[in-house]
Amino acid sequence: MGVIILTCSNVFMRIFGKPIPGTFELMGYFGAVLTAFALGYTQVRRGHIAVDVLVFKFPRRMRNFLNTINYFICMIFFWTCCLADCGICSDVAPDR
């Protein structure tokens, strides 16, 4: 709700030539936070429409195996992102 209010307020204030400073940056931060929460919620609910339509027809053992592979790949990806953000992976992250 805050994102909508901030956006509408900024658009309204632009009409009078006084946009809200930092709106672009705040919208980027809010977007990142909302996306992170949405991804976390989807992961906890084990939901993904496109994959569920295909995978739901597999036997339970196959689904569990695919979930394990998926979690492992995601773990490696996010671990690499964390290392890159900390600057540990010099091949992945630019020099700071």
d(CA 11, CA 18): 10
**Domain limits for position 73:** 57-96
Q: Per the structure, how many domains does the chain have?
A: 2
69, part of any domain:
yes
**Domain match, 37 and 7 both:** yes
CA angle, 67 then 70 then 73, to 5°: 150
pLDDT of residue 44: 81
52, part of any domain:
no
**Domain match, 6 and 41 both:** yes
Residues 6 or more apart in contact with residue 88 via CB below 8 angstroms: none
50, part of any domain:
no
pLDDT of residue 93: 47
Helix intervals (H) in 16-59: 23-44, 49-55
pLDDT tens for the 96 residues of the chain, in order: 888 898 899 999 999 999 899 888 888 888 888 888 888 888 788 776 556 677 788 899 998 998 899 889 988 988 888 877 776 655 544 555
pLDDT of residue 11: 92
**Domain match, 3 and 40 both:** yes
95: left (phi over 0), alpha (psi -120 to 50) or beta: beta
Q: Residue 81 is which amino acid?
A: C
pLDDT of residue 80: 85
First CA to last CA across the chain, in angstroms?
Answer: 35
31, part of any domain:
yes
d(CA 43, CA 49): 12
